[in-house]
Amino acid sequence: MNRILIICAAVTSLLAAGCFENRQKPADVPTVTSLKELAATNRAEVVRLILRGEKSPVTDADLAELPKLKMLDLSERGTKDIPAAVFNLKTLEHFYFVRNGLDKFPDGLQNLQSLTYLNLDGNLLASLPDAIGALKNLKWLRLNDNRLETLPAILGELKGMRRFYARNNKLTAVPEVMKEWKLLEDITLDGNKIEDVPQWLTDFPKLRAVSFNGCQVKKLPDDLSGWRGLDSLSLGNCPIPADEMKRIRAALPDVAIMF
């Protein structure tokens, strides 16, 4: 078996992006960081393929015969098209397609049944396909810096969702589909046009971090007792009056709050 060179810089950046829930790099993971390296590697052993920033076209042949592949990063490649062969990767758990100008999904997303982490930050998405509702194992969804105004109702089918990030979109309300995500731990909705925080958002027993920085929120729900277990609450640059800030601090004395 050929030995695989793991490039530390690439691994570090992925850990910072939250690739692994335990924040630790698994031991002895075969990682490839270029198509040239992939061609010279025992493909059957490759677990992580990191092609971030590489401009060479990715062909169907490049993504064939990778029976153990769990993580694929095709970010910052200057192409808005997801290669069709991606949707044949039945073992894929983490997929990055960041800052590529993606504006529409091709068919096949529903085939990625093993996917737990999907990062689509920095694209041009104005909507999501209903096929995303088929990803029953998805726990972590990143949609920062897109153009979303709403989320499809079918996202409510993703009962295992734990972390949801949709910073700097065009949302005008907290998406109703989030009511179904009872295992939520972390929510970031910074930089949207959201004014109202619904009472139901305080009813998530595992929730630890909530962020509305730069939104138009002036007031939080009357009953904040459900948020007493939070680690952090971020409301920076929200137009919250001083008396409301005082009420929030009194209701959540053990929470790290940023105004």
Measure the CA–CA gap between 188 and 75, rounded to whole angstroms.
Answer: 21
Q: Quote the mean pLDDT of the chain.
A: 91
- pLDDT of 16 above 50: no
- pLDDT of 255 above 90: yes
- pLDDT of 14 above 80: no
pLDDT in tens, 85-115: 999 999 999 999 999 999 998 899 999 999 9
Percent of the chain with pLDDT over 90: 88
76: its two tokens: 């910052």
pLDDT number for residue 28: 62
pLDDT number for residue 29: 77
Mean pLDDT computed over 31-36: 96
Comparing 25 with 68, the larger pLDDT belongs to 68
Q: Is 10 helix (H, G, I), strand (E, B) or coil?
A: helix
Mean pLDDT computed over 65-84: 96
pLDDT in tens, 212-244: 999 999 999 999 999 999 999 999 999 999 999
pLDDT number for residue 1: 38
41: its two tokens: 């590697």
- For 1-142, give the CATH class: alpha beta
- pLDDT of 6 above 60: no
Instruction: Tell me how far CA of residue 257 lies from CA of 72, 190, 238, in angstroms.
Output: 36, 15, 13
Of 10-24, 139-153, 241-255, the poorest mean pLDDT is in 10-24
213: its two tokens: 């920085």
Of 6-20, 69-83, 223-237, the poorest mean pLDDT is in 6-20
DSSP secondary structure string for all residues of 81-148: PPPGGGGG-TT--EEE--SS---SPPTTGGG-TT--EEE-TTS--S---GGGGG-TT--EEE--SS--
Domain ranges across the chain: 1-142
pLDDT number for residue 133: 95
Percent of the chain with pLDDT over 70: 89
